[in-house]
Amino acid sequence: MQQIKFKRSYKFAITTSLYITILFTLLMSVFLYYYFSFLWLPVLVFAIVCFIFSFLIIQFRVQRHIYRRVKTIYDDLTLLESASLTRGAITTDMATLTQEIDKFARDKKLEIETLKIREQYRKEFLGNVSHELKTPLFTIQGYILTLLDGAMNDKNIRKKYLERANSAVERLSYIVSDLDLITKLEAGDLRLKPEVFDIVALIREVFGMVEMRANDKKITITFDRDYKKPVMVNADKERIQQVLVNLIINSLKYGRLKGTTEVSIENLIKNKAIIRITDNGEGIEKNHLARLFERFYRVDKSGSRNQGGSGLGLSIVKHIIEAHDERIYVESEYGVGSEFSFTLEKAE
């Protein structure tokens, strides 16, 4: 067992010894003055001896008693694994001890509050995961049971139900894949592969990937202007493509029929570019903005689930951008539209 050192405090012993010395020296001086002749030398010698004797008694007897009591407090706190109280020496100075105990109490209170928040977050997360997985699983089970009950004999119904079950399986795979990705991002296990590339060209590729979805709602996706020159940035191209896809699809998902989604690239500072995705869709109410990037958080819980997706898209976007040491922003006005923007490092 590690020996705990005793940090002596002499202030109490010196002060108390001084009070005792003054008291007894005054009494002796009065006694000598009335019954004998008053002499400075004997009084001075008595004062010195009295002070030394009082100091030794108080320091090595009284403080030893205090030390034992204080050590009991330290031992009790050590059981609570307080690193701050076991690293240094034990002190019998009450002011220092009070400060350490107060700090310990504040740290423990903060730790308890943090654990409560994490526990609440864990419960919400497990509830959300359970709900998100349950929906496609029950859908798949329902179609399979219907087919087994005799519907598989009808060719048309069999094909339609198998297609719907396949769609539910795809949604399930999206959820599992996104959960795996966001877990790696939060744990820092996903390594980025930065490279220099043209962000304009990448956005054009993403436009092509989401073109069919945009056509379904007759939404026009376009740049704010004609970018004739490339804009070179330094980032993980594959992950930034994922960010752009998620943001543009989110824009299309909540965009209005025959609306627009516009992408712009601007110089933020000398070595930073900011990419903006702006739409004129339904917008987001202010009370939702603070939680928009949380896992599974949905503004419209009923309607958004009908739109499909894993519910993790914006959370993944945030983690990817922050993994690049960059920032993501959102501005929205309900009934007018939304704008998501993020920064990237420009290549020299």
pLDDT of residue 197: 94
Please work out, in degrees rounded to the nearest 5, the angle formed at the alpha carbon of residue 168 by the alpha carbons of 163 and 174: 125
**Cα dihedral angle (105, 106, 111, 114), rounded to 10 degrees?**
140
CA–CA separation, 330 vs 311, rounded Å? Answer: 17
Chain center to CA of 252: 30
pLDDT of residue 3: 44
Between 39 and 260, name the one with better pLDDT.
Answer: 260
User: For the residues 310-314, what does the mean pLDDT come to?
Assistant: 75
Cβ(341)–Cβ(206) below 8 Å:
no
pLDDT of residue 5: 46
Distances in whole angstroms, Cα of residue 141 to Cα of each of 129, 153, 174, 176: 18, 18, 18, 18
pLDDT of residue 78: 59
Band of residue 204 on the pLDDT scale cut at 50, 70, 90: very high
Cβ(289)–Cβ(330) below 8 Å:
yes
The pTM is what?
0.59
pLDDT of residue 82: 47
pLDDT of residue 169: 86
Band of residue 159 on the pLDDT scale cut at 50, 70, 90: confident
**pLDDT (tens digit, 9 = 90+) per residue, 53-91?**
888 887 777 666 766 666 666 666 655 554 444 455 545
b vs e for 309-340, b when ≥16 Cβ sit within 10 Å of the residue's Cβ?
A: bbbbbbbbbbbbbebbebebebebeeeebbbb
Structure tokens at 268: 């933020």
pLDDT of residue 297: 73
Mean pLDDT, the chain, as a whole number? 80
